Amino acid sequence: MIKHNMVDLVSQYSKIKGEIDNAIMNVIAEASFINGPAVKTFQKSFEEYLNVKHVIPCANGTDALQVALMALDLKPDDEIITTSFTFIATVEVIGLLKLTPVLVDVHPDTFNIDPEAVERAITAKTKAIIPVHLFGQSADIHAIIKIAQKHNLYIIEDTAQAIGADFTCPETGKTKKIGTFGHIGCTSFFPSKNLGAFGDGGAIFTNNDDLAEKMKMIVNHGMTVRYYHDEIGVNSRLDSIQAAILDIKLEYLDDYTKARQEAAAYYNNAFADHPKITTPVTGASTTHVFHQYTLVLNDVDREGLMQHLADKGIASAIYYPVPLHLQKAYLDPRYKEGDFPITERLSKSVISLPIHTELTPEIQKEITDAVLEFVDK
């Protein structure tokens, strides 16, 4: 029996049950399930939180990425550069739209896309870069913006795992929420994400008025005026119940982030300077909101450790066990094993421990003791 899961959404909910239940009942009482007032309210709150001009709520994070790409007027075979170490959704949408994903390796410390590798991968067909802010910290968005400007490329930020993280521009010293640096930012409200709904949800954000107009149309069947369709669109809406829940949870997001950071600090301390464990490295200029707490193991039997933890009722997970270029559905003659050595090494040596808003030092001690017992034996 697992007692300590990767997340604890039940305890999190129990603390704000009254507020949440009320909000849900209000939507039901109004029967305004689609595009109701709650959606507009959340949209405004989220625009304010992110300090961005436009938020376009949508049905999930994968749709957010797809709609962002659809808004860029790309042609089949245009190339989109992204990381080889991410959740599948990032490349899935590129493939669905018949665009060509161009993968590049990551930085070994931060696990985030390597800007130098991005620059080397640019060709005449390259149209956009999708940096993923993996596990809760910003990719080197400053370097990526420089490259995009130089080569006239779009940037779509995949902020599904890092909502609320800040990045400070090393040149201007100005701090902004990540996801608001590129042309378009995308996020997910999947329940286990840092800002999680009670079902699926997502959002797209931009400071560009034209892109915002276009994406608002695309999420709603490409419709300008009711039943007049100017674009091929999709049906991708955030439903009102989810919006009402998210509007409440958004008020707690910074507290949730703090709880995650404190939990990460506990782990970091327990594993500090261990020869077989590398704790997460936070990149320059970014904060880390610890969507995942991911260790790199050195000369440790990972499967054995996971079994040892499971035997003690502790969950653990591998994000991600198979690099994108080795996934069956994405096998491609352009790529072979060995092409992305850092990603390949990470996929064999990372392990993620439970991290969420409800951890206590007592629970964390159980977890770190169990890890060290196995690693040191």
Ligand X SMILES: *Cc1c(COP(=O)(O)O)cnc(C)c1O
Contacting positions for ligand X (CB under 6 A): 60-62, 86-87, 89-90, 132, 158, 160-161, 188, 190, 200, 202
Comparing CB distances to ligand X, the nearer of 162 and 371 is: 162
Comparing CB distances to ligand X, the nearer of 161 and 343 is: 161
CB 202 within 8 A of CB 246: no
Comparing CB distances to ligand X, the nearer of 269 and 327 is: 327
Pairing of strands 166-168, 175-177: antiparallel
Cβ at position 205, least distance to ligand X in Å: 15
Cβ at position 162, least distance to ligand X in Å: 9
Comparing CB distances to ligand X, the nearer of 250 and 277 is: 250
Which strands, in side-by-side order, build the sheet including 277-278? 277-278, 293-297, 350-353
Residue with tokens 């040191």: 376
Cβ at position 62, least distance to ligand X in Å: 3
Environment class of residue 170 by beta-carbon count within 10 Å: exposed (0-12), middle (13-18) or buried (19+)?
exposed
Cβ at position 359, least distance to ligand X in Å: 20
- Positions of E strands within 44-183: 54-58, 79-83, 100-104, 126-130, 154-158, 166-168, 175-177
A 10 A CB-CB count for 196 gives: 22
* Chain residue at closest Cβ approach to ligand X: 61
Comparing CB distances to ligand X, the nearer of 43 and 364 is: 43
Cβ at position 219, least distance to ligand X in Å: 14
> What are the φ and ψ backbone dihedral angles of 129, each rounded to 5 degrees?
-120, 135
Cβ at position 333, least distance to ligand X in Å: 26
> What are the φ and ψ backbone dihedral angles of 42, each rounded to 5 degrees?
-65, -40
The verdict on whether omega for the bond into residue 256 sits within 30 degrees of 0, i.e. cis, is no
Cβ at position 351, least distance to ligand X in Å: 17
3-class SS of residue 184: strand
CB 161 within 8 A of CB 133: yes
What is the distance between the alpha carbons of residues 131 and 229, in angstroms, rounded to a whole number? 31
Comparing CB distances to ligand X, the nearer of 185 and 202 is: 202
Comparing CB distances to ligand X, the nearer of 357 and 364 is: 357
